[in-house]
């Protein structure tokens, strides 16, 4: 299944809805730059990519993921989504993404550092605070970013903390980054409830993916009184129709155990969990979780995409036909890159801003972005989806920038 082909199909819809000409659309169909090589460490090869999809609005921006299933199709799609996400969020970035194909769970800390530094050794000419700024993604974190920053600065011979975000505070990061993706998703979920479920009591929620973003999102919703009836990690899920004890479950998960070993509910598979009866389904795992094979079985009326690309194009059509409302990834999970922008701006200027100020600014931007997406959705009288609304806004901003640059 090609994720990128799904994106092209979605763009075709946007071309019609937005009355966009072929010459304009052409610039959106391929990435601006694809860098691929095999990292060689003691004779072992690791396929690696850094892809910039667009530079129209600003330098490349996007995470680096470590996963055994990373492919060029996936990285290109992620870079595409980053370009749209940054455009929609109204921050001065293009879109980029990187990845290394290996299983990080099968290497020790020393090997992980070697691979991380080798990535920078190979790609550093393409990176920089005004060229392309990486960040954490699946199975990368602040420690990985620290190794990468250190290796980059060794190569270029000067300090440049703005070349990468998601760093520890001691290296120029900001504390807000830790739960920024979840905070953004939580804020738009509350806006979703205010618009579509204003009188609903005892709202049931399922969260697929109990990693960093999914765990923080679950905690925030639980604190607000939502009933979390199921969560899952890579091993499977746990379900309790009366609601899980989330505080206890989080402590259990942080001890290093899978949620399937938790005694407070029934063990279920990820696929079973997706099809449970619930009000809101939060997708915080990986791509292609709801496909044309299971879309018709989805009972949740509202879906929040905290992960990138969890619903395929064909599934989108089925869900829309069944009147399911999806808050798309480029809106729902944009809190992370918005806070990365705050970090980058501070690194470039040397100005340090209070966390409370930045948290309020994140809230203002997330709610403002939700508002412009929702208003356009309403203006079409239900004839477009929320995803189509986000794409229309994002694509038109990118194309406007390309026109001003004289490229179209």
- CATH number of the domain encompassing residue 158: 3.40.50.10860
- HEC readout, 196-241: HCCCCCCCEEEEECCCHHHHHHHHHHHHCCCEEEEEEECCEEEECC
Domain shared by 147 and 268, yes or no: no
Do 180 and 110 lie in a common domain? no
| Strand, helix or coil for residue 115 | helix
**Domain-embedded: residue 18:** no
pLDDT at 1 over 70: no
Parallel/antiparallel/unpaired status of strands 302-305 and 44-54: unpaired
Please name which of 180, 181, 199, 119 lies closest in space to residue 155, comparing C-alpha atoms.
Answer: 119
The pLDDT of residue 322: 96
Domain closes at, from 109, 134, 167: 167
In a domain, 156, yes or no: yes
Catalytic residue among 61, 85, 97, 324: 97
Question: Are 219 and 288 in a shared domain?
Answer: yes
Judge if 193 and 162 occupy the same domain: no
- For range 186-198, the mean pLDDT: 96
Q: In what order do the strands lie in the sheet with 95-101?
A: 33-41, 44-54, 95-101, 64-67
Query: Same domain for 148 and 53?
Result: yes
Q: Which domain holds residue 82?
A: 33-167
pLDDT digits (tens, 9 = 90+) for 133-183: 999 998 999 999 999 999 999 999 999 999 999 999 999 999 888 889 999
Q: Which two tokens stand for residue 154?
A: 């060794």
DSSP structural state of residue 344: H
Report the CATH number that the domain containing residue 401 is assigned in CATH.
3.40.50.720
If asked whether residues 130 and 218 sit together in one domain, one would say no
Domain boundary among 119, 139, 167: 167
Residue 138's pLDDT is 87
* Residue 296 appears among annotated catalytic residues: no
Q: From 42, 43, 48, 83, select the one nearest 67 (Cα to Cα).
A: 48
Q: What are the structure tokens assigned to 142, written together? A: 């602040």
In a domain, 240, yes or no: yes
Give a yes or no: residue 109 inside a domain.
yes
Does pLDDT of 199 surpass 70?
yes
């Amino acid at each position: 299944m090609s994720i990128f082909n799904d994106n092209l199909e979605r763009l075709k819809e946007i071309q019609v809805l937005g009355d966009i000409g072929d010459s304009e659309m052409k610039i959106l169909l391929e990435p601006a730059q694809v860098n691929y090589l095999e990292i060689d460490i003691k004779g072992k090869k690791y396929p690696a990519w850094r892809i910039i999809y667009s530079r129209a609005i600003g330098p490349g921006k996007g995470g680096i993921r470590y996963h055994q299933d990373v492919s060029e199709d996936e990285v290109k799609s992620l870079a595409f989504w980053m370009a749209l996400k940054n455009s929609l969020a109204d921050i001065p970035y293009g879109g980029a993404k990187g990845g290394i194909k290996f299983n990080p769970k099968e290497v020790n800390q020393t090997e992980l550092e070697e691979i991380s530094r080798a990535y920078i050794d190979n790609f550093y000419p393409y990176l920089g605070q005004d060229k392309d700024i990486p960040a954490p993604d699946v199975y990368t974190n602040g420690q990985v970013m620290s190794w990468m920053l250190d290796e980059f600065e060794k190569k270029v011979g000067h300090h440049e903390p703005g070349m990468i975000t998601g760093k520890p505070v001691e290296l120029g990061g900001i504390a807000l980054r830790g739960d920024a993706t979840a905070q953004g998703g939580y804020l738009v979920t509350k806006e979703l409830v205010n618009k579509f479920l204003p009188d609903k009591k005892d709202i049931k929620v399922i969260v697929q993916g109990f990693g960093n973003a999914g765990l923080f999102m679950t905690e925030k919703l639980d604190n607000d009184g939502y009933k979390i009836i199921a969560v899952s990690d890579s091993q499977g899920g746990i379900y309790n129709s009366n609601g899980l004890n989330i505080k206890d479950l989080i402590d259990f998960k942080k001890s290093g155990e899978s949620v399937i070993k938790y005694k407070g509910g029934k063990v279920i598979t990820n696929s079973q969990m997706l099809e449970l009866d619930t009000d809101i389904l939060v997708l915080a795992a990986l791509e292609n979780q709801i496909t044309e094979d299971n879309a018709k079985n989805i009972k949740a009326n509202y879906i929040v995409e905290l992960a990138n690309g969890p619903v395929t194009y064909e599934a989108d059509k089925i869900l829309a036909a069944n009147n399911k409302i999806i808050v798309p990834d480029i809106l729902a999970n944009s809190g992370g890159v918005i806070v990365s922008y705050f970090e980058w701006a501070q690194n470039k200027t040397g100005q340090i801003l209070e966390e409370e100020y930045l948290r309020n600014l994140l809230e203002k931007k997330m709610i403002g972005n939700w508002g412009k997406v929702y208003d356009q959705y309403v203006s079409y009288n239900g004839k477009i989806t929320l995803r189509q609304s986000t794409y229309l806004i994002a694509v038109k901003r990118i194309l406007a920038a390309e026109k001003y640059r004289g490229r179209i």
